[in-house]
């Protein structure tokens, strides 16, 4: 096995690193936590203007497809706000793989300017993990579709130009066979966005669709073929697009804190053997998370859909993140509870923030349990029981 | 196999040996394969392997800890190593004869024995000897990591086969989600460990020092990756064998089922070189020294 990236991907990574070093500011990071919108328009535009977004769409042009992984891994490691860009690039990947000429012109080309955004409309109030059971209806009326329903966790909906919307077009067949996917422009009459606050500063949304009328050109994939579109979208989401190295910036913050923080036993925390052991274990987890993700990216880059590989990367990285965050928060004692802006907060509040953020990572993009089902059935060959 | 062709070996590099070690681990082959590979490569560095070691007629072994008072304790291949290599202060020494002897009774059925270095010959001295020995222990870490990956892989296979075959409450035990989920955590750990071991071997086959940038998760240094590979593969194999044995129910505890062999062997390999938590402490020293780009 060769663990060297291609010359092209290495050059791409250097460009991304250089751009982040120049453009990512503390103000952008502060703003993401103040506004709850994990998105940095200036950074996105700069990435696009430098030609770095187009390279990150799998199969687009003649770029090394591993560049998608490289882009988001660098953004995640740097602690940049990237959730808005991740969803947008995910949709760009879906459009590139399955979209029509109309979608490419109207959506993909705009997304690659770094100045337009998308959100994901999959989950509903009553349908989360069992996403194939969604009830948001799309009914055909001549050349149009009329959509009614409600979606949850539509993060970035308040900034988005389009929502990738999973709808039910046939309620009379097995649930996976009656779904159709649309790219719905968010300025279509009948769409309402309501904010949902979370325990980790990030804002998400509930979105409501009341008689939303779009023409058939906004359908992506076949009528009643929405589940195969979901397969492409989820494979892109799990593992490849960030989310598997969250403990890299955490380790930096903990280390900086430990080099100054006094230990209750005297000396500095960085001299504490248990803390050092745990820093080492975190560094191992970071490498393993990166390698499992790189493998999923490699599968995607060579034309496969890394469903099982993505599940493995996601389970491992998110579970490990929760474990290490728990260690460091407890080791920081009472100061590990103090948040951004609090006097004496351990790691300026970053430990508290990570401890707040960690619980969602085993939920979004497919829970640990859904991913375990995936591995049990598709990799281990155990009987399907649902 | 792992000795250069110029010295009569097969010319395999560390990445090649990793593949062999994984298969040996998958069958928990009762061979001191890794110890022999590593010790023969170390001896060959100083043109001291000898034809019998290169051809495999004489088994070579490596003491993982420096000698104390001319004795090396709990050497993993101590009962079978006819040529035992050890570090005594800054001297790399080899002692011939003294094996085979009876293994110390042990958890993992490893050919463990304490060995005396009386009558040893000096192979090399000074910084060169110390550096070469440290490199050999890192190769041992990498290849033992691969043994652990192989054993973990088989442990998962055994567990899956058992829960597919075994019926309770009128259906396969493997159709219960509690059991499925316990097993489903394991392939990611095994694959992660395999990738980390492969990366360590890749780094070990490259010339010069690599990068250690823990803040950017950019690590290509052999010593660091070898330490990580053994710690993580040990953790993965301990967990895989633990779950697999558990899902065998009472039969997992019975000698007639192989899973208990894997359970015990992996614990032996994972800690023959010392407490993994202490290895983490050593790894932290390597990581936090920030040597940066070579």
Structural domain range at position B55? 5-125
Q: Which pLDDT band holds residue B292 (cuts at 50, 70, 90)?
A: very low
Percent of chain B surpassing pLDDT 90 = 93
Q: Are residues A248 and A343 part of one domain?
A: yes
CATH (domain of A212): 2.40.110.10
Q: Are residues A320 and A283 part of one domain?
A: yes
**pLDDT tens profile A204-252:** 999 999 999 999 999 999 999 999 999 888 877 765 666 889 999 999 9
Q: Are residues B52 and B33 part of one domain?
A: yes
Q: Are residues A276 and A370 part of one domain?
A: yes
Q: Are residues B76 and B32 part of one domain?
A: yes
Domain membership flag for residue A100: yes
Interface A–B counts its CB contacts (< 8 A) at 135
**pLDDT tens profile B217-252:** 999 999 999 999 999 999 999 999 999 999 999 999
Nearest to B232 among A77, A278, A288 (CB): A288
Determine whether the interchain pair A245/B217 forms a contact, defined as Cβ–Cβ distance below 8 Å. Answer: yes
**Is the pLDDT at B291 greater than 60, yes or no?**
no
Domain membership flag for residue A346: yes
From chain B, the residues in CB contact with A77 under 8 A are 216-217
Determine whether the interchain pair A372/B180 forms a contact, defined as Cβ–Cβ distance below 8 Å. Answer: yes
**3 state DSSP class of A138:** strand
Nearest Cα residue to A148 out of A165, A128, A160:
A165
Interface residue A179 vs chain B (CB under 8 A): no
Looking up tokens 């490498």 gives A287
- Predicted confidence at residue A329, as pLDDT, reads 98
Domain membership flag for residue A75: yes
Q: Are residues B170 and B119 part of one domain?
A: no
Distance in Å, alpha carbon of B239 to nearest chain A alpha carbon:
13
Domain end point (choices A53, A86, A117): A117
Nearest to B198 among A1, A252, A380 (CB): A1
Structural domain range at position A135? 120-226
- Yes or no: say if A205 and A196 are a contact pair by the CB < 8 Å rule: yes
Nearest to A291 among B195, B203, B283 (CB): B195
From chain A, the residues in CB contact with B185 under 8 A are 315, 319, 372
Both tokens of A86, joined, read: 């991740």
Angle at A292 between CA A289 and CA A298, to 5 degrees: 135
Nearest to A372 among B184, B195, B228 (CB): B184
Nearest Cα residue to A167 out of A98, A206, A201, A121:
A121
Determine whether the interchain pair B160/A381 forms a contact, defined as Cβ–Cβ distance below 8 Å. Answer: yes
Q: Are residues B142 and B160 part of one domain?
A: yes
**pLDDT tens profile A204-217:** 999 999 999 999 99
- Predicted confidence at residue A240, as pLDDT, reads 63
Domain membership flag for residue B84: yes
Q: Are residues A370 and A244 part of one domain?
A: yes
- Yes or no: say if B91 and B141 are a contact pair by the CB < 8 Å rule: no
Q: Are residues B145 and B19 part of one domain?
A: no
From chain B, the residues in CB contact with A252 under 8 A are 215
**3 state DSSP class of A377:** helix
Q: Are residues B218 and B146 part of one domain?
A: yes
**Is the pLDDT at A58 greater than 70, yes or no?**
no
Number of domains in chain A: 3
Interface test with B, best of A280, A324, A331 (most B CBs within 10 A): A280
Over residues A277-285, the mean pLDDT reads 98
Nearest Cα residue to A209 out of A147, A294, A165:
A147
Q: Are residues B283 and B137 part of one domain?
A: yes
Domain end point (choices A97, A117, A137): A117
Determine whether the interchain pair B180/A376 forms a contact, defined as Cβ–Cβ distance below 8 Å. Answer: yes
Residue B206 CA to residue A328 CA, distance in Å, equals: 35
Q: Are residues B255 and B136 part of one domain?
A: yes
Q: Are residues A303 and A289 part of one domain?
A: yes
Give the Cβ contact number of residue B76 at 10 Å: 26
Q: Are residues A70 and A188 part of one domain?
A: no
- Yes or no: say if A139 and A182 are a contact pair by the CB < 8 Å rule: no
Q: Which pLDDT band holds residue A299 (cuts at 50, 70, 90)?
A: confident
**Is the pLDDT at B150 greater than 90, yes or no?**
yes
Q: Are residues B89 and B210 part of one domain?
A: no
Domain end point (choices B75, B105, B125): B125
Q: Which residues of B touch A (CB under 8 A)?
A: 15, 156, 160, 163-164, 172, 174-177, 180-181, 183-185, 187-189, 191-193, 195-196, 198-199, 202-203, 214-217, 219-220, 225, 228, 231-232, 277, 280-281, 283-285, 287-288
CATH (domain of B254): 1.20.140.10
Percent of chain A surpassing pLDDT 70 = 97
Q: Which pLDDT band holds residue B290 (cuts at 50, 70, 90)?
A: low
Distance in Å, alpha carbon of B125 to nearest chain A alpha carbon:
32
Q: Which pLDDT band holds residue A386 (cuts at 50, 70, 90)?
A: confident
Q: Are residues A257 and A298 part of one domain?
A: yes
Domain membership flag for residue B293: no
Domain membership flag for residue B201: yes
Residue B63 CA to residue B73 CA, distance in Å, equals: 8
Q: Are residues B154 and B103 part of one domain?
A: no
Residue A10 CA to residue A3 CA, distance in Å, equals: 12
B261's CB contacts (< 8 A; 6+ apart) are: B28, B109
Record the pTM. 0.95
Q: Are residues B144 and B108 part of one domain?
A: no
Domain membership flag for residue B208: yes
**pLDDT tens profile B154-200:** 999 999 999 999 999 999 999 999 999 999 999 999 999 999 999 99
Residue A131 CA to residue A175 CA, distance in Å, equals: 10
Domain end point (choices A66, A98, A117): A117
Q: Classify residue A381 by its DSSP letter.
A: -
Q: Are residues A295 and A214 part of one domain?
A: no
Domain end point (choices B98, B125, B152): B125
Number of domains in chain B: 2
Domain membership flag for residue A164: yes
Q: Average per-residue pLDDT in chain B?
A: 95
Domain end point (choices B125, B155, B188): B125
Q: Are residues A193 and A101 part of one domain?
A: no
More confident residue, B219 or A68: B219
Q: Are residues B179 and B144 part of one domain?
A: yes
Nearest Cα residue to A48 out of A117, A119, A105:
A117
DSSP E strands: which ranges in B149-232? 167-168, 171-172, 212-213, 218-219
User: What separation in angstroms does the CA of A174 have from each of A219, B5, B57?
Assistant: 21, 63, 66
Q: Would you say the ipTM is above 0.90?
A: yes
Q: Which pLDDT band holds residue A139 (cuts at 50, 70, 90)?
A: very high
From chain B, the residues in CB contact with A372 under 8 A are 180-181, 184-185
Domain membership flag for residue B273: yes
Distance in Å, alpha carbon of B4 to nearest chain A alpha carbon:
21
Q: Are residues A365 and A352 part of one domain?
A: yes
Interface residue A2 vs chain B (CB under 8 A): yes
Q: Are residues A359 and A304 part of one domain?
A: yes
- Yes or no: say if B228 and B196 are a contact pair by the CB < 8 Å rule: yes
CATH (domain of A27): 1.10.540.10
Q: Which residue of B has its CA nearest to A310?
A: B188
Nearest Cα residue to B109 out of B1, B2, B29, B206:
B29
Q: Which pLDDT band holds residue B293 (cuts at 50, 70, 90)?
A: very low
- Predicted confidence at residue A190, as pLDDT, reads 98
More confident residue, B284 or A65: B284
Domain membership flag for residue A165: yes
Burial degree of A142 (CB within 10 A; 0-12, 13-18, 19+): exposed
Percent of chain A surpassing pLDDT 90 = 83
Domain membership flag for residue B238: yes
Helix boundaries (H) for chain A: 7-23, 26-35, 41-49, 67-78, 83-98, 101-103, 109-111, 226-237, 247-258, 273-301, 307-331, 350-361, 368-378
Distance in Å, alpha carbon of A187 to nearest chain B alpha carbon:
40
**pLDDT tens profile B29-82:** 999 999 999 999 999 999 999 999 999 999 999 999 999 999 999 999 999 999
Over residues A334-345, the mean pLDDT reads 97
Q: Average per-residue pLDDT in chain A?
A: 93
- Yes or no: say if A244 and A314 are a contact pair by the CB < 8 Å rule: yes
**Is the pLDDT at B294 greater than 80, yes or no?**
no
CATH (domain of A257): 1.20.140.10
Q: Which residue of B has its CA nearest to A259?
A: B288
């Amino acid at each position: 096995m060769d663990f060297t990236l291609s010359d092209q991907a290495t050059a791409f990574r250097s460009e991304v690193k250089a751009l982040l070093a120049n453009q990512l500011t503390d103000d952008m990071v502060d703003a993401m936590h103040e506004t709850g919108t994990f998105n940095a328009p200036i950074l996105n535009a700069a990435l696009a203007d430098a030609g770095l977004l187009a390279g990150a769409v799998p199969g687009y042009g003649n770029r090394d497809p591993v560049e998608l992984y490289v882009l988001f891994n660098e953004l995640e490691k740097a602690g940049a706000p990237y959730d808005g860009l991740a969803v947008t690039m995910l949709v760009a990947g879906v459009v590139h793989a399955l979209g029509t000429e109309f979608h490419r012109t109207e959506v993909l080309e705009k997304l690659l300017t770094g100045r337009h955004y998308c959100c994901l409309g999959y989950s509903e109030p009553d349908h989360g993990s069992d996403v194939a059971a969604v009830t948001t209806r799309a009914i055909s009326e001549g050349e149009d579709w009329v959509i009614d329903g409600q979606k949850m966790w539509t993060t970035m909906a308040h900034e988005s130009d389009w929502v990738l919307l999973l709808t039910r077009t046939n309620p009379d067949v097995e649930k996976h066979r009656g779904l159709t996917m649309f790219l719905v422009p968010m300025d279509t009459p009948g769409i309402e966005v309501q904010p949902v606050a979370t325990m980790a500063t990030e804002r998400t949304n509930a979105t409501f669709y009341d008689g939303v009328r779009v023409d058939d050109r906004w359908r992506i994939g076949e009528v009643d073929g929405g589940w195969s579109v979901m397969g492409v979208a989820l494979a892109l989401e799990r593992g490849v697009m960030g989310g598997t190295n969250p403990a890299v910036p955490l380790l930096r913050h903990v280390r900086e804190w430990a080099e100054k923080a006094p230990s209750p036993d005297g000396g500095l925390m960085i001299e504490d053997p248990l803390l050092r052991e745990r820093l080492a274990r975190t560094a191992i987890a970071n490498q393993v998370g990166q390698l499992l993700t790189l493998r999923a990216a490699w599968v995607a880059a060579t034309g496969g859909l890394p469903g099982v590989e993505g599940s493995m990367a996601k389970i491992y990285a998110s579970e490990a993140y929760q474990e290490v965050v728990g260690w460091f928060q407890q080791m920081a004692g009472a100061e590990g509870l103090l948040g951004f802006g609090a006097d004496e907060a351990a790691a300026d509040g970053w430990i508290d923030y990570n401890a707040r953020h960690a619980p969602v990572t085993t939920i979004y993009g497919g829970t640990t349990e859904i991913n375990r089902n995936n591995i049990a059935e598709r990799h281990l060959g155990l009987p399907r029981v649902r | 196999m792992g000795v250069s062709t110029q010295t009569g070996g097969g010319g395999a590099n560390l990445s090649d040996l990793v593949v062999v070690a994984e298969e040996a681990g998958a069958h928990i082959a009762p061979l001191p394969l890794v110890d022999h590979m590593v010790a023969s490569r170390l001896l060959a560095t100083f043109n001291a392997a000898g034809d019998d070691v290169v051809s495999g007629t004489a088994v070579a072994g490596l003491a993982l800890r420096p000698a104390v008072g001319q004795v090396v304790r709990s050497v993993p291949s101590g009962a079978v190593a006819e040529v035992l290599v050890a570090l005594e202060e800054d001297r790399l020494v080899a002692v011939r004869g003294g094996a085979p002897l009876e293994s110390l009774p042990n958890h993992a059925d490893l050919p463990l024995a304490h060995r005396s270095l009386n009558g040893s010959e000096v192979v090399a001295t000074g910084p060169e000897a110390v550096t070469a020995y440290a490199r050999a222990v890192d190769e041992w870490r990498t290849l033992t990591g691969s043994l652990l990956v192989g054993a973990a892989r088989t442990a998962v296979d055994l567990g899956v086969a058992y829960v597919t075959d075994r019926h309770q409450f009128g259906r396969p035990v493997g159709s219960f989600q509690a059991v499925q989920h316990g097993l489903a955590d394991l392939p990611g750990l095994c694959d992660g460990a395999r990738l980390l071991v492969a990366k360590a071997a890749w780094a070990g086959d490259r010339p010069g020092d690599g990068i250690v940038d823990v803040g950017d998760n950019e690590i290509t240094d052999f010593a660091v990756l070898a330490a990580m590979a053994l710690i993580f593969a040990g953790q993965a194999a301990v967990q895989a064998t633990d779950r697999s044995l558990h899902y065998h129910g009472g039969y997992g505890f019975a000698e007639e089922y192989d899973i208990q062999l894997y359970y015990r062997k992996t614990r032996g390999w994972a800690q023959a070189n010392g407490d993994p938590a202490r290895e983490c402490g050593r790894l932290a020293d390597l990581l936090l020294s920030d040597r940066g780009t070579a």
